[in-house]
Structure 1
Amino acid sequence: MPNVTAPASAEFVAQVADAYEHLYDLVYLRTHPLLRLPQIDQRLPAKERAWRLHQILLEAIEALDPGPQAPTQSRTWRRHRLMVLRYLEGMEVQAVADDLGISKRHCFREHEVAIAAIASLLADAGSNHSEAEPAPDGGSRAEPGRLELLRLEAARLARSSHQAPLAEVLLGAVQLAGEMARRRGVHIRLEIAPNLPPVAADRNTLRQLILGLLSHLLERLDGGEIAVTGAAHAGCVTLSLDSFGVATALSAPAAQEAQMRLSMLHELAAVQNIRVQSTAGESGALGFCLELATTRPRTILVVDDNHDALHLFERYLTQHNYQVVMAQSGAEALEKAREVQPFAVTLDLMMPGRDGWDVLQTLTNQPATQHIPIIICTVLAAKEMALSLGAAAFLAKPVSEQALIEALEALG
């Protein structure tokens, strides 16, 4: 996280807090005071500046991430986790507090500190922001257009995580759209098949897409219902968003703007190889049908000579759609790592024969396995040594389910 030279003013902090409360209301953001941030090109139309502000706010949450090496439940870890749960996962305050194991009052205090930290980051970034470099011909460098901005951002996200838990994303999106739905008198009904497999998409991009489609439908409804349904098929999941109720007529300019936003959403979907089709019911009600490819479960090689520890990790991992391969000795771990080529290895250090230190050095130095991330899980106080020898992360035993999953998700 960048060094913060000075705290932001109380007025600026309040503006940042307000922007996060309306993070997914791009219409509201078009007139927001933060549109004056130096990082936002003032030559762009208001709707495109609102989109850029939205992205800046998401990136600011990422900037709070202390990384997988940060101790779980440290202040920096907790504040980043809080912002992710509140504004990316769409969880209510009480649910966030429960997840973090703190009181609701404490959660509000941590939220205030996190918002202040982000405000300082944004203020510091603004003060260091320079004007665009002049083009070789002496003119100003052209800013990318609306779709170019979208493609750049979506491409960046496409290079990150490629596995999204669809059920969690849908639940979070519906919760985030809840306030807009209440204002429109619309009920959003979520009906999805149990145990939907993960889909091949970036989690944040998928959430943006679903929220955008829900907003598109909500803008046209005056009361009624939106049904969100999903089911798994061979190699894919189909997702339907169907509206029922009285559709409101849009003025010509509003209809044109809505169509432009819909084009942006189709562009976002295309980058993630998600098929989106518009549908219409007999009454003319609008809807969307999405087809998302599923992913094969990632394989984790769990290495520990303790039988109970192996099966505890197996239980943790299978609940999150990971496939588990187990090894109870160093020699077995090296053999299975070469054969299976797992997504990652969790490695205990204290084992008879070839111990974890030997396995770590061998895996990180062999061409066939040196690309595999290794997460050390041990009772030994050896974090610095493990990381210096090439481990991707270090978890002190006893390892919680949450700490293990977060360490794996941090690998991308």
Structure 2
Amino acid sequence: MKANTAIGFILGGVSLCLWHTQQMLVRRSRDRLRLTYLSLALSAIVFAIGLLTLVQYIHGFNFGIDELFFKDDLDAVGTSAPGRMAPNSAFNFLIVGLAGMMLAGNYWKTQAYQLLSLSAFLVAFLGFLGYAYQVKTLYGIGSYTQMALHTAIAFMLYSVGLLLAQSDRGLMAVFTIDNAGGLMARRLAPAAIAIPPFLGALILFGYRQRAYDTEIGLSLLAVLNIVVFAVLTWWNAKSLSRLDIKRQRAEAQSRIDAQAAAQALAHLSAIVDNLADGLLVIDLNGRVARFNPALVKMFGLEGQDLTGQDCESVFKGQLIDLVGEIQKDPKQVLTAEIDLVHGHWGQASIAGIVTADDRHGAQCLGSVLLIRDVTAEKQVDRMKTDFISTVSHELRTPLTSVLGFTKIIQKKLEDNIFPLVPVEDRKVKRTIRQVGDNIEIILSEGQRLTALINDVLDIAKMEAGKIEWHLESLDLGEIARRAILTTTSLFESKGIVCEADIPENLPEILADRHRLLQVFINLISNAVKFTDRGSVTCRIDREGDRLVVRIVDTGIGIAPDDLDKVFEKFKQVGETLTDKPKGTGLGLPICKQIIEYHGGEIGVESELGCGSTFFFSLPLAAAGSERTQKLDLDLLLRQLKDRALPAPDRDSAAKTILVVDDDPSIREYLRQELVAEGYQVCQAKDGIEAIEQAKALHPHLIVLDVMMPKMNGFDVAAVLKNDPQTMDIPIVILSILEDKERGFRIGIDRYLTKPVDPESLIEAIGSLLSLGSSRKKVLIVDEDVSTLKTLTKVLVARGYTVVEASNEVECIEQAIRVRPDMIVVDSYLSEQHNIVQTLRLEKGLENVFFLLLSQQANAIAGDSRVE
């Protein structure tokens, strides 16, 4: 191998390496372009070496390039000119250099450079065979320099490298493709290259040994080639036949699988199309990918093809909000109630379509939305709630008569009959005692039935969403202490200890004071009820962003099988045939509803014979809540009516009360109670008669039922309160309905529900009559002028005498001068200047009721001290 030949191989090899390196870089990057140009330049040098050498041979020139770098020996074998490569080597460098330039520069088609590379391989292979067959003319041309054996081998390797540079394109693609043709090409190519030269060598060896002449040798070569390639063809055909059989089987199985998939898809489509629930599949771009007829009907889109349409152009409101939320976090599952056409309601559930990929992890493909029309269920729930409410309400009317007349009978017996009966006879004495006990049983059971009706109404209204919640910032510890104080008599009657573990300065929660007190009293009462000895402990702890309340008792405990039933309606756990404390079975379900409304959780832990622990958690109020001027005026008026009243006036002489009720037994019961208190009573059986008597008699007070024929009580109250002749008459609503909000908006003064406690009724009547025609004095203190004017306008319209103050100085001056019955003051202003403490402790206004307007929305906190 001459020096120029070696240099050509080095440059060609480096050029090929540079081309492979630049293929791994980013397209059009600066480094890739630099490597491409360098590879092209090196291939061009290889081309130039071959071209100049051939020119020297053809024209007899000597450019001095043969010994440019190295001097050749003068006695070198097979050399026509010192240092000059063989003509066939120069020709190969010419074509491989040109092929390298075409590869590096991406010129012409791939087949062109591959044809040049294949040509170089054949020339080199011919030289290789020359050395194998010892035929000089195959590697040397006349007296010119001969191609060395290792040069031929190097050219073959270089050509193969060029051919494989782009093996997936052009001529080489047939060898690398993954199919039957590629498999056959890969099998036959080595045999086609190796076997003919081997057979030629055998025939040539026999010929040189004079075993046969030329004609026989050529015939043998032809026969051997036929046999060898026939065997190769048979072997490949057999292999291809096996592959084709597998392919046919695979295609048959694929057709079966496709048919099964089509059947499954048709079955699935039939299921989807016949679903009663609406189905909507949305892709990542927010476009409809699939839907079913139920969805089209739910939204009134019959006759429209929604596929491919943008969701925002088809659907509105809550559904689009759900889609937006799920796109932010596809792993969540969201539910919401949405509006459908024709006044229907739908319950929508949406989830992301997430697939697991080993390489890329979880990927979201879109979202699927399922909508159920819950209109019928809501109507059934409403009918059930209305039915329960109606039945419970209708029970109140006869129950009022039963309890009322029973108390009248009890009072008359104790006051007028029993004192006249001689008690010397033991039988008479026992009879009197039995009669008294029986009456007490009637009253006790009537009160229990009243509690049951109230609980049924409570839970029915909670389930129907008709409860009005009054949220305010509360100290949970203060609620717990008040509940313990309220249930003190229960502890004393059973002789057990009440323990309280309540930290001071607990963070506030946002809740309904009355409802939370109801929960505490219910849980503590239950604990006392089922504890015969030991103690009941109320403990409050802060756990993260929640307060956790635990009511722990040492009572009989609850069996494990009954723990799941504790919060079910009308369920009382344990043995129903044994003697156990009575209850309605609704107290704990009501507690559960209340706690869950406040965003909390309630549960129980218990072991039979070792006591129970009922616990619930409530979230803390959000810190830094902004002050709002939105006032609950109805709640304020109710607080005023309930709190800012003087003591009842027992002087009932010449006071006339109009009793209005369509039930004669109720009217008679109320007449007897009021007459017994010294009032004069007149009656009306319906709303129209009530209005006529109110205008004619102008009674001092009206006791009014709501549910009456011709005109209901609310309408009667509205007429009377809007008539200057009757607007000053106090009105007490006495009804089976619990719609206090409506009553207070009309302007009634008291709202009592049947069955009414006669003492509460007499006290309310006495309190209202003691006011006469005068007005209650209220001092309003607030720095916000808008709030001040709004409250003043509302309270003056309701008959109050109002005095205003805009700061703490005016508040103190006006309070000392006017001596109001109530002071309504902004809680922030009161806390900043200690207004309550100043007026009560320093200015002697200890009997004034303070009503604080809280900084939380809808929160109006009443004074814990009411004189």
TM-score for the superposition, normalised by structure 2: 0.22
Which structure has the higher relative contact order (CA within 8 Å, separation 6+)? 1
Q: Answer 1 or 2: which has greater helix percent.
A: 2
